[in-house]
Amino acid sequence: MFFRDVVGQKEVKNRLIKSVKEERVSHAQLFAGPEGTGKLPLALAYAQYVSCRDRSEDDSCGTCPSCRKFSKLIHPDLHFVFPVFKQGNIKNPVSDDFIVQWREFMLKSPYFTLNQWLKEINVENSQGLIYEKESESILKKLNLKSFESEFKFMIIWLPEKMHKACANKLLKMIEEPPNKTLFLLISEDEENIINTIRSRAQLVSIPFIDNDSMRKALSKPGEFDEDTIEEVVHLSNGNYLKAIEFLNPDEDKLYYLAKLKELMRAAYTIERPIPLIEWSEEIARIGREKQKSFLEYALRLVREYFILNLKNPDLVYLNKEEKSWGNDFSPFVNERNVLQMYSEFDLAFKHISMNGNPRIIFMDVALKMAKILKK
């Protein structure tokens, strides 16, 4: 991964490059920021630059043995930790059990969400976690001497998903790191990382991508016209993943929109409760990670539809399908009920995250929406 392949983030790149040139590479760094801002590709580009044997002023060479191995994610001193799940005969999973799928997935694009990764490895009703046994695997790898590079690199994607016991053992390794080890933690929710780890890692804040860089990344000859690109730059609000999603809506988002429409229509016609029951039964079967994604999607649309009533297009971040339905539905999301709607979806998200019964949770959501819309 090259720095030039990372969308935007010029200031962050310059700081990282400067730290290497001045030999001020901190042994534990926390790349923290919103989804879709390029934290993982930045960490990869940084690790490749540190390991490169013939680096230039602003990027790795791409041709030395180290860079060629980094490009295929097979460098012997490059290690990954990421959320996985229990399946079949794998009762105590670690990242290495899924490393082949991880490499293949990352080589397609280093920009992806947790839900996309879990979908790739066929998670159904489980939640992706970094289990306690992972700490043993980390310790084993890092106690080995470096094979080819000066440093060993441990890239931990989403440490906020780490089991508490694993996090405590990781803390000990960060406090007393093996010689020439570089921990790169990639987080989208740093508040949920244990405080002792956060306090011992150097924070690298990753901001939203600037509009010029986003525009340049999306402008490919013959694919999209300028007006479409400008609209997407606005809608994405600095999130590259959202920009790609607006240009090429995935099946999940279309499904979530359809299910939200069904819920609100059924809730409004509560005289016939059967559709609400059928809706809750279907959502209860789609798997816990998709349920959480649906609720996050519902929370976003509740916010956006309330803002749509303000008649200020610059404040609205909706694609064409969402806006088309929102023009009719947004009057039902108003100052009298917006906080109630938001609170019910947010509460359901928390309950699903705590492994609550989805049939009960979504039936409750459906009934609460019916009550709110009838006020």
Residue whose C-alpha is closest to residue 154's, from 30, 67, 64: 30
- What pLDDT was estimated at residue 125? 64
Distant-in-sequence, close-in-space partners of 144: CB < 8 Å, separation ≥ 6: 152
- What pLDDT was estimated at residue 119? 85
- What pLDDT was estimated at residue 342? 94
Tell me the per-residue pLDDT of 221-280, one tens digit each, with 9 for 90 and over. Answer: 667 778 788 888 988 889 999 898 888 877 788 899 999 999 998 888 766 778 888 999
- What pLDDT was estimated at residue 271? 67
- What pLDDT was estimated at residue 155? 95
CA-CA distance, 309 to 335, in Å (whole number)? 10
- What pLDDT was estimated at residue 273? 76
Q: At 142, which helix (H) or strand (E)?
A: helix 134-142
- What pLDDT was estimated at residue 222? 62
Q: Are 193 and 159 in contact (CB under 8 A)?
A: yes
The sign of the dihedral angle between the CA atoms of 291, 295, 298, 300 is negative
Q: Are 83 and 25 in contact (CB under 8 A)?
A: no
The sign of the dihedral angle between the CA atoms of 132, 170, 137, 78 is positive
Q: At 182, which helix (H) or strand (E)?
A: strand 181-187
CA-CA distance, 185 to 92, in Å (whole number)? 22
pTM higher than 0.85, yes or no? no
The sign of the dihedral angle between the CA atoms of 70, 83, 35, 19 is negative
CA distances from 200 to 23, 80, 173, 183, 197 (A): 19, 20, 11, 11, 5
Residues of the chain with pLDDT under 50: none
